[in-house]
Amino acid sequence: MKLHTISINNLKRRKAKMAFLTIGLMVGIATIVTLVTLTRSMSSDIERKMDEFGANILVTPQSNGLSMNYGGISLGGVTFDQREIREEDLVKIKTITNHKNISAISPKVLGGVKINDHDVLLVGVNFESELKMKQWWKIFGNEPTSGHDLLLGSDAAKVLNVSPGDNLTIKGEFFKVAGVLDQTGSQDDSLVFAGLATAQKLLGKEGKISMAEVAALCSGCPIGDMVTQIAEKIPDAKVSAIQQVVEGRLKTLDQFKRFSYAIAAVVVFIGSLIVFVTMMGSVNERTTEIGVFRAIGFRKSHIMRIILLEAALVSLLAGFLGYAVGMGGAKLALPFMAESKNAHLIWDSTVAFGSIGLALTLGLLASLYPALHASKMDPTEALRAL
């Protein structure tokens, strides 16, 4: 018989009380785990979708000129000393510290060509990464597969009077129009897209690229850091974050997170109140028992240890169960909450240990006053209640 035997036997043999206390705290913890996990899973889902939706970092050659372009209307530019980026430099982007946050890199080479007597801006792209980044593109016809396939913007197709399956000649070489883009309302409408290598060859810019768009994952959003890291790796390039995109994404996620955490805080508060009220009730119910403990020579610290140990055991159990039930709840709720079908649950040991630690802290904090109250009970008063 030790002090902990008293706590353990009390919990073991007063199952209803223990169950009530455990369930009270468990509901609080489970709700928090569900909310936190759902928030994180949904954030990651939203983040992934947003990151796939266009670039948020632009890598362009250093230039001393200013572009005279606004809203797709170009008035020409006063540029001089135009440089280009070497294609092999792009590999360096993948060596930055935050390389794991890079979702896609889309290099582009730009140059003017004449097609059917029309001046056209030819854009060489890596179709795989370009299509991944521009998911809003709707293609009539097929996606380009070979080096001699072209993809035309809607206006370019109209001006050149071609449809998917037609042929075009550029600098004496034959190309097939694999697909035509539905109108996007952007500068893409007037462009002709070709494979990167093909375009480089046609424009005489082998091994060079005009710019690269980088889609970076917003998790932790070290976009500013990533911009610096890329700039260090490619000193010849100008690296800039598309602030509008970055800030927009951050704000959306931040708002969502704040909402979830506010709900979680309310639930934690209610859970703590349940533990406090139950522990206080339990202490009052045990007035006589505590009087007996004091009468037979238990110190105040002994009484506190008994009550706090009970609280710790119940809280640990509530923490484990709360985590399990919370994750179960999140798993059930995620398909209804997340938009994309392939949203997956995030299993994080921080949440597991955090929920158990939180349960323990809450249980102990909520029981501290009842334990102090019990230890200060006057044994004569307690025994007078006999």
Partner 1 sequence: MALIEIKNVKKQYTSGDDVVEALRGVDISIETGDFITIMGQSGSGKSTLLSVLGGMNHPTSGDVEMAGVKLYQLPGEKRADFRAQNLGFVFQSFNLISYLTAIENVMLPLAIVKMSTPAKRTAARSALERVGLGAKLDRLPNQLSGGEQERVAIARAIVNNPDILLADEPTGNLDSKTSEEVMALFRELNDAGQTVVMVTHNPENGAYSDRTIHLKDGMVMSGQA
Site residues (CB under 8 A) for partner 1, limited to 244-263? none
Tell me the window of 4-12, 87-95, 100-108, 365-373 that interacts with partner 1 (CB under 8 A).
4-12
> How far is the C-alpha of 18 from the C-alpha of 11, rounded, in Å?
6
If binding is defined by CB under 8 A, does position 386 make contact with partner 1? yes
> How far is the C-alpha of 80 from the C-alpha of 372, rounded, in Å?
79
- Closer Cβ to partner 1, 63 or 287, answer by number: 287
Helix (H) / strand (E) containing 155 = helix 154-160
User: Is residue 331 within 8 Å of 244, Cβ to Cβ?
Assistant: no
If binding is defined by CB under 8 A, does position 341 make contact with partner 1? no
Mark 287-326 with x for binding to partner 1 (rule: CB under 8 A) and - for no binding: -xx-xxxxxxxxxx-x------------------------
Site size toward partner 1, by CB under 8 A: 28
Site residues (CB under 8 A) for partner 1, limited to 360-379? 378-379
CB atoms closer than 10 angstroms to residue 22: 26
- Closer Cβ to partner 1, 86 or 300, answer by number: 300
Q: What's the token pair of residue 85?
A: 């980026």
Q: Count CA atoms within 13 Å of residue 208 on its CB side.
A: 17
Helix (H, G, I), strand (E, B) or coil at 161: coil
> How far is the C-alpha of 375 from the C-alpha of 379, rounded, in Å?
10
If binding is defined by CB under 8 A, does position 3 make contact with partner 1? yes
CB of 293 to partner 1, least distance (A): 8
- Closer Cβ to partner 1, 5 or 361, answer by number: 5
Q: List b or e across 204-229, with b for residues whose CB sees 16 or more CB atoms inside 10 angstroms.
A: ebeebbbbbbbbbbbbebbbeebbeb
User: Is residue 242 within 8 Å of 55, Cβ to Cβ?
Assistant: yes
CB of 13 to partner 1, least distance (A): 4
- Closer Cβ to partner 1, 10 or 31, answer by number: 10
Q: Where does this chain bind partner 1 (CB under 8 A)?
A: 1-3, 5-6, 9-10, 12-14, 288-289, 291-300, 302, 378-380, 383, 386
